[in-house]
Amino acid sequence: SESCTPLTGKEAGLDTGRSSAARCLPGINPLQDQQWHLLNSGQNAFSPRGGVAGNDLNLWWAHRTGVQGQGINVAVVDDGLAIAHPDLADNVRPGSKNVVTGSSDPTPTDPDSAHGTSVSGLIGAVDNRIGTLGVAPRVQLQGFNLLDERSKQLQKDWIYALGGSTATADNRVFNQSYGMSLVDPQSASGLDQVQLDRLFEQQTQQAQGAAYIKAAGNGFNRIAAGDYMFSRTGVLPKLPFENSNIDPSNSNFWNLVVSAINADGVR
């Protein structure tokens, strides 16, 4: 808001916690006040009711002191990235790749392929009085459409997107908001996984380091296999239906696997 002025970070005795009276977010973006994950005040966020105040990322102090992702490069490996989107364009840097066409523009052509653009907005939507505000609104983004339905998901494209090229090696964060639900045994290439693990090790142990962020999956309540849906009934309702470690990319040493809670702070 306009009244949320910058801080120096040296204010004596300032409470930087979730109950601080100084909690607010700078920036004037039309949908910013509904982004409970940034600052949860109990707003309804277009839902029938609001959540529980304080269940958020608690990043207000970072934003007020100007720590907003500047100097950090992020690779979004997903179904594409609309690089001309008005809330993203200023944060898009060279090096993106469309693995279907071979071009440097991973903008989806299918209107249903909006996941990668949405994820990119959560990460780095620009503070520009348009739409929303990113968690790190001054990061630099690259996009890779490995999950496009036309993608052959070639090993060379995975390596390129995940830091194995000069165009992507300087990314400090690799976001992978995808996963798989394995109901039946699946064939896999051990060599392919060894190559990726070696790349992850190289990237994370270099001087600046890198973080490989991976979604735990959507299998807590139910999983799908083809035309079939498997779900929990009333038995053991607090246990997950699917162990996310069944996905081999979730159980390596290098991916930081993240699950989610809702605005009430509940899984």
Q: What is the CATH number of the domain that holds 224?
A: 3.40.50.200
Give residue 46's pLDDT: 94
Return the residue matching tokens 């470690």.
245
As a whole number of angstroms, the distance between CA 105 and CA 84 comes to: 9
* 182 compared with 90, residue with greater pLDDT: 90
Highest mean pLDDT among 106-120, 191-205, 207-221: 106-120
Say which amino acid occupies 90: D
Give residue 244's pLDDT: 81
As a whole number of angstroms, the distance between CA 252 and CA 25 comes to: 36
- Do 60 and 84 fall within a single domain? no
Q: Which among 170, 145, 164 is positioned nearest to 93, based on CA atoms?
A: 170
pLDDT score of 53 more than 90: yes
Give residue 127's pLDDT: 97
Domain boundary among 67, 82, 117: 67
- Do 213 and 231 fall within a single domain? yes
Q: What is the mean pLDDT of the chain?
A: 90
Return the residue matching tokens 């653009």.
117
Residue 193 lies in a domain: yes
Q: How confident is the model at residue 1 (pLDDT cuts 50, 70, 90)?
A: confident
Q: For residue 76, what are its two tokens?
A: 């979004």
pLDDT score of 158 more than 70: yes
pLDDT score of 242 more than 60: yes
Mean pLDDT check: name the lowest of 135-149, 157-171, 222-236: 222-236
- Do 72 and 5 fall within a single domain? no
Region 198-214: what's the mean pLDDT?
Answer: 89
- Do 30 and 62 fall within a single domain? yes
Region 237-258: what's the mean pLDDT?
Answer: 80
Tally of structural domains, the chain: 2
Residue 266 lies in a domain: no
Residue range(s) defining the domain that contains residue 215: 68-258
Residue 85 lies in a domain: yes
DSSP letter string over the chain?
A: -TT-----S--TT---STT-TT-------TTGGG-TTT--SS--TTSSS---TT-S---HHHHHTT-S-TT-EEEEESS---TT-TTTGGGB-TT-B-TTT-SS----SSTT--HHHHHHHHHH--SSSSS---SSTT-EEEEE-TTSTT----HHHHHHHTT-STTTTT-SEEEE------SS-----HHHHHHHHHHHHHHHHSSS--EEEEE--STTTEEEETTEEEE--SSSTTS-SS-GGGSGGGSSSSEEEE----TTS--
Residue 265 lies in a domain: no
- Do 83 and 175 fall within a single domain? yes
Mean pLDDT check: name the lowest of 20-34, 46-60, 236-250: 236-250
Give residue 226's pLDDT: 66
Region 99-122: what's the mean pLDDT?
Answer: 96
Give residue 255's pLDDT: 93
pTM of the predicted structure, to 2 decimals: 0.90
- Do 58 and 73 fall within a single domain? no
